[in-house]
Amino acid sequence: MSAPIEDAERSPGTTLSGPRRTLFGVIVALLAVSPLIVCEGLLRFSDVRIADDPFLNFGQVDSYFVQKDIDGRPHYQVANREVYRERHTAFPVKKSPQTFRVFCLGGSASAGWPHPQEEIYTRYLQRALEAAYPHRTIEVLNVSAHAYAAYRVRLIFQEVIEFEPDLMVIYSGNNEFLEKRVYGEEPTWWEPVSEALNRLHLVRRVKGSSLGRRLWPENTLLADERQHVAYEQWSKIEQLALELRRNPRQYQQVKNHYAFSIQSMVETAGDRKVPVILVSIPVNLRQWHPNVSDQALEGPTRQMWEGLYRSGEGLLLHGDAQGAARRLREAAGLAPFHADTHFALGRALERSGDYEAALQSYSRARDLDYNPFRAPSDLNQILRQIAARYDHVSLADAERAFLAASAPLAPGFDLFLDYVHPTRRGNVLVARTVYDEIVARGLLGPPSVGSTAVFSMGSQAIGGSTPYDEERDYPMQGVLVRLFVMMHQYESAVEKARFLQNEPGALETLRRKEDGKLVDAVLNVFPEVIKQERELALGVAADPQLSRQLEARLKTFYRENFGGYDEFRTTAAPSPDKTLPAT
């Protein structure tokens, strides 16, 4: 009987034994993945920097600096637009032995925006250290970035830690809710695999690429520039409740991400034997209304709350602060998570002389803001915990310094231009708080002069060579009017606009920058808005037709004076952020 055809045609030696078959499979697998192994090796040993944030995908991170010769010496100079490259911040590539180099990182409050460069806290700190330690060369380098959250500040930190720092100062926390993103909330079975893969440079590079932005749009961002700027602006104008704050699980992840970013910077600095000063975050508590209040009440309970709330505001307008406080306490009992109720209660308590209770109410209002642009108290608590955990870290407690400087009132426009950006006096206070911590830790040895002498407001060390009056910095004041109306601080906007209208030459200066038109428009619309709000508080029924007309004028005002609305609508369509019922 003849053998089967397939057996007859099989030549001797073509059958692989078990071990040979395994070896052959391994070789094939290695050949298949070898290009990936080569790519991973090239990325690891090249100068390409790949972000390693476990919460978000950024991919490749370009340098924030360029090298250039200045006075015949190689320097690093800020090149990134969002790190205020117009300031031309630069420093030698090779640090001299007598130099004490400080890098200051954070967002726009740390950067001193919108003040001119000579009037920011780091410039005051530089002058103070030079006066106190004349035998040392002092470099205080502000590499803060506009509207950067701590996870983006960390990207800058990871570069400047290579530039021979003697001290890192981190003042960050007001921008943690800006960019649109969605965090994973529940552990998944594939999470350990994902964490292992994320250790590979190649995987992180792909996830942060244009392909990654299509596959993981909810948590992939560009590394070299902030995203969703139009959305940020219009989410405040439209008063959207952000999912990042409204959803407790998302809010917890925001805090986790912030803690990771700060702690990662701290631990990296510790590995390099570089001390760190964390700056607690002061904010305007007393004169900044919350952006968005959550109102979950319905039916008769909501009507009861609204009656108490309006009655309390009315009593406050009539000068009965104690009666207003009683009504507003009842309203807060019905709606304990309504930020505006706590803010109104804070004003009533302040006017009745109960300053401690007023401070607590103002702080509660800040923490309950559902579209926050001020660091919630939870983030300061995280800073305090991290500072206490490490020997090389200390806390410059600017939050408490501002509270003490404003006492018995809560901090307001006495120390802030707006919601978080300090006035000139506030910037001096931040500088002094950091300076005192440097001296207390002995980082430069004993100073040659005392802190009081250095930080006298009239001293040459702080004042510089040219007197500066921030109220007469009209371009800056025009910026503030824009911020006030964007965030519905109507009374502050009208007060600032009237000041500029009455200042000789102010509107002419602003019209050269297109902000004079904005001032005119504010005075044309918002006094009527304020009048209507006060009449409601006093129990005067609003005319429905006039209310609709005023609402239409408001929409026209914002569309004409703030760009990016169409982009915002496109971004907002799939967003979980939402408009809460009006109060």
CA separation for the pair 215, 207 (Å, rounded): 8
What confidence tens digit (pLDDT) does each residue in 357-388 have? Answer: 999 999 999 999 999 999 999 999 999 999 99
Q: Is the torsion defined by CA of 414, 470, 83, 66 positive or negative?
A: negative
Q: Which residues pair with 57 in a beta bridge?
A: 220
List the beta bridge partners of residue 422: 416
Strand partners, 483: none
In the three-class reduction of DSSP (H, G, I as helix; E, B as strand; rest coil), residue 75 is classed as: strand
Residue 571 is classified by DSSP as H
Asked if 129 and 435 count as a contact pair (C-beta separation under 8 A), the reply is yes
d(CA 198, CA 184): 15
Q: Which residues does 416 contact at the CB level (< 8 Å), separation at least 6?
A: 282, 283, 284, 287, 288, 422, 423, 426
Q: Is the pLDDT of residue 4 over 60?
A: no
Per-residue confidence (pLDDT) for residue 5, from 0 to 100: 43
255-276 mean pLDDT? 98
User: Same CATH fold, 299-367 and 79-184+247-286+373-467?
Assistant: no
Confidence grade of residue 29 (pLDDT, cut at 50, 70, 90): low
Cα distance between residue 457 and residue 560, in whole Å: 41
Instruction: Supply the CATH classification number for the domain 79-184+247-286+373-467.
Output: 3.40.50.1110
Q: Tokens for 376?
A: 């919630």
Q: What is the pLDDT of residue 366?
A: 98
Using pLDDT thresholds of 50, 70 and 90, give the confidence band for residue 42: low
Model confidence at 9: pLDDT above 50: no
Q: Please check whether residue 150 is in contact with residue 254, taking contact to mean a CB–CB distance below 8 angstroms.
A: no
Lowest mean pLDDT among 154-163, 220-229, 388-397: 220-229
| pLDDT for the residue numbered 60 | 86
Start-end of H helices in 10-74: 18-45
In whole angstroms, what is the distance from residue 128 CA to residue 124 CA? 6
Query: How far is CA 390 from each of CA 87, 113, 156, 281, 395, rounded to the nearest angstrom?
Result: 34, 31, 22, 19, 11
Tens of pLDDT along 93-121?
A: 999 999 999 999 999 999 999 999 999 99
Work out the pLDDT band at 296, boundaries 50, 70, 90.
confident
pLDDT category at 22 given cuts 50, 70, 90 is low
pLDDT class of 34 with cuts at 50, 70, 90:
low
Min mean pLDDT across 1-5, 174-178, 360-364 is at 1-5
Q: What is the largest CA-CA distance in the chain?
A: 117
- Omega before 290 cis (within 30°)? no
**What is the helix (H) or strand (E) element at residue 172, kind and residue range?**
none
Determine what percent of the chain is predicted with pLDDT higher than 90.
71
| Helical (H) or strand (E) element with 52 | none
Could you tell me what percentage of the chain is helix, strand and coil, using 3-state DSSP and rounding each to the nearest 5?
Answer: 55, 10, 35
Asked if 500 contacts 507 with a C-beta cutoff of 8 angstroms, the reply is yes
> What pLDDT, on a 0 to 100 scale, did the predictor assign at position 316?
97
Summarised one tens digit per residue, pLDDT across range 402-454 is: 999 999 999 999 999 999 999 999 999 999 999 999 999 999 999 988 777 77
Quick check: 241 pLDDT over 90?
A: yes
Residue-level length of the chain: 583
User: So what's the pLDDT on residue 7?
Assistant: 46
**Average pLDDT rounded to a whole number, residues 10-22:** 58
b/e sequence 379-406, b meaning 16+ C-beta within 10 Å: bbebbeebbeebebbbbbbbbebbbeeb
Tokens of 108: 């726009």
Q: For residues 148 and 157, give the distance between their C-alpha atoms in angstroms, rounded to a whole number.
A: 12
Provide the pLDDT for residue 335: 96
Distance CA 75, CA 68 (A): 5
Over 90: is that where the pLDDT of 304 sits?
yes
pLDDT at residue 536 tops 70:
yes
Mean of the per-residue pLDDT values of the chain? 89
pLDDT at 2 over 90: no
User: In this predicted model, what pLDDT tens digit does every residue of 64-89 receive, in sequence order?
Assistant: 999 999 999 999 999 999 999 999 99
272 CB contacts (<8 Å, ≥6 apart)? 161
Domain residue spans in the chain? 79-184+247-286+373-467, 299-367, 472-579
d(C-alpha 216, C-alpha 570), whole Å: 18
Work out the pLDDT band at 11, boundaries 50, 70, 90. very low
**Which tens digits make up the pLDDT trace of 537-560?**
998 988 999 999 999 999 999 999
| Burial class, 7, CB count within 10 angstroms (exposed 0-12 / middle 13-18 / buried 19+) | exposed
The pair of structure tokens assigned to 11 is 């030549």
Cα–Cα distance measured from residue 278 to residue 299, given in angstroms and rounded to the nearest whole number = 47
**Residue bearing tokens 């250790």:** 199
416 DSSP 8-state letter: B
Domain spanning 299-367: which CATH class is it, in words?
Answer: mainly alpha
277-286, 470-479, 482-491, 502-511: the lowest-pLDDT one: 502-511
Q: Does residue 3 register a pLDDT over 50?
A: no
Do the Cβ atoms of 500 and 522 come closer than 8 Å?
Answer: no
pLDDT in tens, 178-231: 999 999 877 676 666 666 666 665 666 676 677 766 777 777 888 777 888 889
Consecutive H or E run containing 102: strand 99-106
Spatial CB neighbours of 131, under 8 Å, sequence gap ≥ 6: 448, 449, 454, 459, 461
- pTM of the predicted model as reported, rounded to 2 decimal places: 0.90
Task: Please determine, for residue 569, whether its predicted confidence score (pLDDT) is greater than 90.
Answer: no
**Calpha distance 274→219 (Å, rounded):** 32
Of 157 and 49, which is predicted with more confidence? 157
Q: Convert 488-521 into a string of H (helix), E (strand) and C (coil).
A: CCHHHHHHHHHHHHHCCCHHHHHHCCCHHHHHHH
